[in-house]
Amino acid sequence: MASEAPFLIATRSEGKLRELNGILATAGLRAVNLSQAMIEPTAAEEHIETFDTFEENALAKARYFHALTGMPTLADDSGLCVDSLGGEPGVWSRRFSGRDDLSGQDLDDANNAKLMAELADKTDLRAEYKCAAAFVGDGVEFVEMGEVRGEIVRSPRGENGFGYDPYFLSSELGMTFGEATTEAKELISHRGRAIRALIEKHF
Ligand code: IMP
């Protein structure tokens, strides 16, 4: 399926937006974000992602903004799943620290501190990032997954990326996502893989 209209990228995360813009540009697709589409944040948005799976949350987000705007909408739901924590924080990655009062780097710092505390007595530090990318247009819905494996390091490395990236050592890159350039991360990341799967299978 080809789409002439620009996609709406349904995220308010600066870090995700940077990466999604790059991935879509590489694929030759036009996109606008929520602030470019002049969609102001509302309290209702905070209650979209109430499901237990990445797929359901990504679809819920894409459905919500497609219903609001009528635009073909792309959303991702993603998170870090740590083997020795039974897959946690998973879909709760953004809210892991429980600090609803924080945002941006302060929230990332609180989440990373919680991760370090949870892993203090663990020896198995293997983990993966997972991403569900969902597209909702008129009468069509698609969702695809992407994953990337690695391990958690106990001291942060690098200042690129966002969220847990300085603590996520990619097996494929041999460096943390905090050390990798956006371009290097995009090639192998959960988000890059999920979006490319969506594009290759459906567009
Ligand atoms: P979402 O906005 O509900 O999808 O939550 C995503 C959360 O998972 C982010 O706030 C980060 O904590 C974490 N996360 C997902 N993808 C990444 C990534 O590529 N790098 C670092 N953290 C990520």
Q: Is the CB of 179 under 6 A from ligand 1?
A: no
Q: Domain limits at 165?
A: 7-202
Q: Enter the pTM of the model.
A: 0.95
For residue 116, being part of any structural domain is answered with yes
Active site residues: 77
For residue 2, being part of any structural domain is answered with no
For residue 22, being part of any structural domain is answered with yes
Question: Which ligand 1 atom is the nearest neighbour of the CA of 58?
Answer: 4
- Exposure letters 55-70 (e unless 16+ CB within 10 A, then b): bbbbbbbbbbbbebbe
The residue with tokens 């069509």 is 140
Q: DSSP for 131-157, please give it.
A: EEEEEEETTEEEEEEEEEEEEE-SS--
Residue 1 has pLDDT above 60, yes or no: no
For residue 1, being part of any structural domain is answered with no
- Tell me the pLDDT tens digit for each residue of 68-79: 999 999 999 999
Distance 36 CA to ligand 1 centre (A): 22
Q: Is the CB of 64 under 6 A from ligand 1?
A: no
Best probe residue, ligand 1, of 9, 16, 33, 74 (max atoms within 8 Å of C-beta): 16
Token representation of residue 71:
């635009």
pLDDT at residue 5, rounded to an integer? 79
Residue of 1 and 88 predicted with greater confidence: 88
- Using an 8 Å Cβ cutoff, are 198 and 142 in contact? yes
Q: What is the CATH number of the domain that holds 166?
A: 3.90.950.10
Q: Is the CB of 165 under 6 A from ligand 1?
A: yes
- Using an 8 Å Cβ cutoff, are 178 and 165 in contact? yes
- Tell me the pLDDT tens digit for each residue of 189-202: 999 999 999 999 99
Q: Is the CB of 96 under 6 A from ligand 1?
A: no
Q: Is the CB of 160 under 6 A from ligand 1?
A: no
- Using an 8 Å Cβ cutoff, are 129 and 194 in contact? no
In this structure, what are the phi and psi dihedrals at residue 35, rounded to the nearest 5 degrees? -75, -35
Question: Which ligand 1 atom is the nearest neighbour of the CA of 189?
Answer: 19
The count of structural domains within the chain is 1
Residue 2 has pLDDT above 50, yes or no: no
In this structure, what are the phi and psi dihedrals at residue 39, rounded to the nearest 5 degrees? -100, 105
Beta bridge partners of 193: none
The residue with tokens 């209650």 is 47
- Tell me the pLDDT tens digit for each residue of 13-58: 999 999 999 999 988 899 999 999 999 999 999 899 999 999 999 9
Q: What is the mean pLDDT of residues 101-110?
A: 96
The residue with tokens 């995700």 is 16
